[in-house]
Structure 1
């Protein structure tokens, strides 16, 4: 049965909220575990639906996966021989499943991965992934809905320059190259903290990787890797979500586990807009004063720029801020579906190509809305908190993919957010 959140407006959340392990890192680390036979243990894993899906996908590849959501631990026992076919039924539910492509072709010489589904935020082409694997010597083609990569004689290191610093392509090339013969150099590589976390896991497994976190990553291939234990880094997007929640609702939140250094661009913008942003012993604090927040322009860019995953929160913030702002999306071409839902709440925002012009209003008005992806859903909950009356946010399954027990976290901060059955079909 579908579920929805019932959000009552008017709350100003105050208190501490804990950020768990990064969704966008945990899933990739799980995929990378197939590179080494034996038991790899991951800790600080978030209790979210996507981890359950990735665990099921890896089980379909003959990996024994024990996932304890309460403890935040995933134990992966990888056999000597793993499967190579990632079925459409699972891949369609989780875009991150494409991250098994590099590890499988490196470990088994073949990977058959269904062309993935995932969030409705625009086309995310796989050409950079396939070009990278082809440069390493794999033969890649699409057949009957599957992306098939074959390297029966192994991979060979080479120089690869990405046209765009794609996180997914960087990850797949990195995990393929660690078992390739010779040296691979990735130029214009993605620089996100999740790339560094993946490289740290691989190095702990015996890989030879340098330069992660910069635009140039060098990998010297090794013959085999060994299993290890590794703690997932904190989720910077979840931390940024709570930072914008504090700013938008004029609240005061300590974000426990948040890493300020991972969010310099968005936190700097909030600070310039008048919010207090300061480090604490446990993370960092974001507090907004009683005055109406000030609007600011946003342009999304690859790390260390403003994250595309925080763009829906910037639009929501600006929808109730004093003044007008332009939000420009430079990463995904169709990530403005949040705007039409905010309009149902009374937001004044117009989409023009990859720009949104937002004119702040003093208050939104509660109404039924629908989440189209993880971040839009969380942003709509925040919008409901600054709306008069009640807002019903449908599509909760999207939010559950990125935020464990989201409604419980809000209630602990003094907000009225509850989960309930959604018996009415959404008609748009």
Structure 2
């Protein structure tokens, strides 16, 4: 993702210290010397909210910042729109350092680029659903008819069409959170900051909202910074995960990178109970086929020789553009060769199951149980690799051991 998209948010050496202004410089010095959070609090009466955090968020990416209570994740996200002013460091949005902006300039960035969805729904009880959804546009000074239309569109996007004239007390918790999300979407921000947005919801409603967000992201391609303390939620939503402890970032990476190669003992303990099969993908467990057949240059005998050499009883077939168009079995190739046939098309099986590189490994197990051939992994119709039962089980076993030994 990082090679394809531009950097939307860049955070450099961000620190936030809470406490008496006169003691903050002393706390900073102790922090730079490597003193821990507890000792700094005892010596200076200052609390470390964020400690020297640096990371980037790519355009169109969902990044989940997570950690236990007190880890600094909510402080960090509030620094991104300067609801909390950082003590030190820089925050760039589209290469503009927002830590240097005047109040008016900051207001412009908040109104045009940033939307925020909080854990508590923060709806006005005396306003209708539509009036709540259009509130940010009203603050912008948009004309009533235009802002109402944008609010209607946003409400439809989150599945609340028909509820525009109801009041918050008529809605369930999940529906109220959808209004909060619609209010942010109505402003069409580049970036959504979501602070524990689904934490107050019941588990089933929470899962539905996660699915809703994934669906919306596929349509809208926003840049999303999502705060969570729930590892399963982070694994489901995040393109990348940032894990925090005591205000500091202890590891960042994809779910697979963190689960299979935890950087510290704390991270290993944090992720120890995760089902590895739900995190690994087809791309991470596939193997590269050593040979494929092409009808333009290969016949049954060539296909059979490839299969014998590779130790498989099937071989996949591609056309001139390297698009996979079918597979040929060893039995079919052998019988065709004995008959003297030279055409692969006549013996090729055109219907076959395939998966994409991002298919979760957990979904591969039942597929492999039902097919008699290696499972091809295709991207835009071209072969990325194949999955056989042995390679899948070996990968799951190896990753599981790596996680246990971390």
Normalised-by-shorter TM-score class: under 0.3
What TM-score does the superposition give when structure 1 sets the normalisation length?
A: 0.26
Higher helix residue share: 2
Q: Which has the larger radius of gyration?
A: 2
Higher strand residue share: 1
What TM-score does the superposition give when structure 2 sets the normalisation length?
A: 0.27
